[in-house]
Amino acid sequence: MYHKFKIMDIDLRFRDRISNLLSLSITCNIKAMTITIINGPNLNLLGDRETSIYGSVPFEDYLKELKQQYPEIDFNYFQSNIEGELVDALQKTKGEGQGIILNAAGFTHTSVSIADAVAAIPVPVIEVHISNILSREDYRHKSLIAPYCKGSLFGFGLDGYRLAVEALLHIL
C-alpha cells in the first residue's frame, strides 16, 4: 500500500532523507515476490524426451519466458532426479520464498517422503504436471502430494507453470 503525501509537508529534518529514500526506491529493481520452481526426475530432458507428450521446448527456455512475463517475481529454480534432493529443496524453501510450484514428476505417485515434506512446510505449493495424468496409465492417477497442495494443474503443457504463478499471485 502506498501513501501519497507532499514532501514539503514533512518536518525539514526528515525531508532530505525521505526524498533520498523515495528516489532510491524508484531506481531500485525491487522484486515483490519469490517463487521457487522445483522439478523432479526426467524434467531435465524436456525438449528431447517424448515430445508428443511433453513438447519440444527445454524448461530453461520456458523459464526465461516466464521471467520476462513476470519481472516483479524472483524465480528460483531447482531440478533433480533424486528424491532426497527434492525433499531437501522443499525444506530449504521454508524461509526463502512465498510460494512453490512443484512438478514431482514420477515421484508424485510414489513418494511419501515428498508428500511429507510438502505437508511440513508453511509455504503454499501448487502441483503442476505438463501432461494430463488422468488420461495416462492408471498408476499416474493418484497423487500422494495433492492433499497437501493449495491446488493442482495438469494437462496444460508448460503453460501450467504460468497458471500456477497466477494462482500463487491470487493466493498471496
Of the residues 54, 62, 70, 161, which is catalytic?
Answer: 54
State the Cα–Cα distance between residues 172 and 167, nearest whole angstrom: 9
Q: SS3 sequence, the chain?
A: CCCCCCHHHCCHHHHHHHHHHHHHHHHCCCCCEEEEEEECCCHHHCCCCCHHHHCCCCHHHHHHHHHHHCCCEEEEEEECCCHHHHHHHHHHHHHCCCEEEEECHHHHHCCHHHHHHHHHCCCCEEEEECCCHHHCCHHHHCCCCHHHCCEEEECCCCHHHHHHHHHHHHHC
Of the residues 62, 70, 129, 148, which is catalytic?
Answer: 129
Is 3 one of the annotated active-site residues of the chain?
no
Is 129 one of the annotated active-site residues of the chain?
yes
Active-site positions read 54, 129
